Amino acid sequence: MQRMVVNPAPDFSGSNPPSPAATQPDWLTIAAIAIAATVITDVIHEGLGHGGMCVVTGGQPLVLSTVHFECSAETRLVAAGGTLANLAFGAVFWVAARATRQSGSWRFFFWLVMAFNLFDAGGYFLFSGIGNFGDWAAVVAGWQPAWAWRVGLVALGAVTYFLVFVPFCVRELRPFLGRDAKIRVRRARQLMLTPYLTAGILSCVAGALNPVGPLLILVSAAAASFGGKSALAWMWQLLYSPRIPSSELQMPEIERSPGWIVAAVILAIVFIARLGPGVRFHSG
């Protein structure tokens, strides 16, 4: 009598997820997560960073939009507050990502908002040093010799962005990539390009409504999104290097999530329609 062989049922638990070679992440959910990460990172920079420092230093918040914050006392600390908040929350979300081992969508969200915050911080140093414009140009304004401070900002931005944050973020994404060298490069590209394009488009659409003028669309919305987060467009190539081994931890696939999609739609509407034109604060 022929013996019947029954294949075991696939194990979809977090400890033994299906092979990435046989599954694909849901691009719509990834875009939704990217929208949430974009909005949160922007509020951290403009609201908690600049706005929080304004209040702490005795100033009065005047206007908050997606691309700028106005304080009654525009001090160096207020200018630096956005980047300092990005660095602090980048560390917080890194801890949150490391602590999340069962939900693929939540760990990816924490990874992405961590990466957005870190890239914005390093990118601001570079942007201000090269263009003599933006937050850190205001921080060092009047310090002499001016050229030395600009060179210092460029050096600080280059080191933090390219040598620290980029390889760090690539390594932290490994639990989503599988263990096969070719597959993990392809999957990394899928998990990076969709958030990059989503964040850039959302930021520019909301920034187009800013109350200051069209120049901020270019120098803030486009520069901070397509420029500051540009590592997502190319850093997956680092995975060709054998110096970045695969991770023992492998997360479950990011599947279609109506909850993430609905939340993203609501956040995008509020971000564009409310924060885009700016919120004006009034004294009590």
DSSP secondary structure, 241-258, as one string = STTSPPPS--PPP----H
Name the average pLDDT for the chain.
Answer: 89
pLDDT at residue 20, rounded to an integer:
47
Average pLDDT over residues 203-215: 83
Residue of higher predicted confidence among 258 and 220 = 258
What percentage of the chain exceeds 90 in pLDDT?
77
Question: pLDDT tens digits, residue range 83-112?
Answer: 999 999 999 999 999 999 999 999 999 999
Query: What distance in Å separates the CA atoms of residue 189 and residue 177, rounded to the nearest whole number?
Result: 10
Residue of higher predicted confidence among 14 and 153 = 153
User: Which residues have CB under 8 Å from 16's CB, separation 6+?
Assistant: 250
Sheet (strand 61-64) strand order: 69-71, 61-64, 279-280
Position 19 pLDDT exceeds 90? no
Whole-prediction pTM value?
0.90
Question: pLDDT tens digits, residue range 222-259?
Answer: 777 888 999 999 999 999 988 899 999 999 999 999 99
Domain boundaries defined on the chain: 27-44+74-274
